[in-house]
């Protein structure tokens, strides 16, 4: 499951913005990787006031950071489209200029990840993995996919 952690400094996101960001991030991940949206989770965190520094100086501007841990195995072309799509989403949902937006992608090996109690498949093997899950879990995941 890609885990996207959104961190903000000097910026308060409304619940509406969080809902929109979570939906847009999940759909963008799915669009560019082909993975189902139920694989994506988005976690929001706010940096404590006066706890963010750059170059040793306190940051006073509004900044947003997105750190995405994704399964390794995708091409550079796919990852570039994904990272640019994610940047666009952050700008759209916050109205920040792009120089206040940060996006990082980290590749994790699928065999070093467990989700829904099972070791993840390699990229492109999701359907086979999904069909090996117990019926109740498959039903739960299908419901999540329909809630887009």
pLDDT in tens, 42-89: 999 999 999 999 999 999 999 999 999 998 989 999 999 999 999 999
Angle between helices 76-94 and 15-33 (to 10 degrees): 160
Query: Is pLDDT above 60 for 148?
Result: no
Burial class (CB in 10 A: 0-12, 13-18, 19+), 98: exposed
Mean predicted confidence (pLDDT) in 124-134: 88
Query: Is pLDDT above 80 for 1?
Result: no
> How many domains are contained in the chain?
1
* Nearest-angstrom CA–CA distance, 39 and 26: 8
Query: Is pLDDT above 60 for 38?
Result: yes
User: Could you tell me the residue range of the domain that residue 105 belongs to?
Assistant: 3-146
CATH number, domain of 80, equals 3.30.429.10
């Amino acid at each position: 499951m890609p885990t996207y952690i959104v961190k903000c400094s000097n910026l308060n996101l409304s619940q509406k913005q969080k809902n929109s960001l979570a939906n847009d991030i999940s759909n963008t991940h799915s669009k560019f990787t082909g993975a189902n949206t139920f694989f994506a989770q988005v976690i929001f965190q706010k940096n404590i006031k006066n706890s963010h520094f750059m170059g040793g100086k306190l940051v006073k501007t509004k900044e947003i950071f997105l750190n995405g841990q994704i399964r390794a195995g995708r091409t550079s072309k796919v990852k570039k489209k994904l990272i640019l799509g994610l940047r666009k989403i952050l700008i759209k949902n916050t109205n920040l200029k792009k120089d206040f937006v940060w996006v990082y992608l980290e590749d994790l090996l699928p065999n070093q990840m467990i989700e829904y109690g099972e070791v993840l498949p390699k990229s492109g093997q999701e359907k086979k993995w999904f069909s090996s899950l117990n019926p109740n879990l498959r039903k739960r995941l299908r419901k999540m996919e329909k809630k887009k």
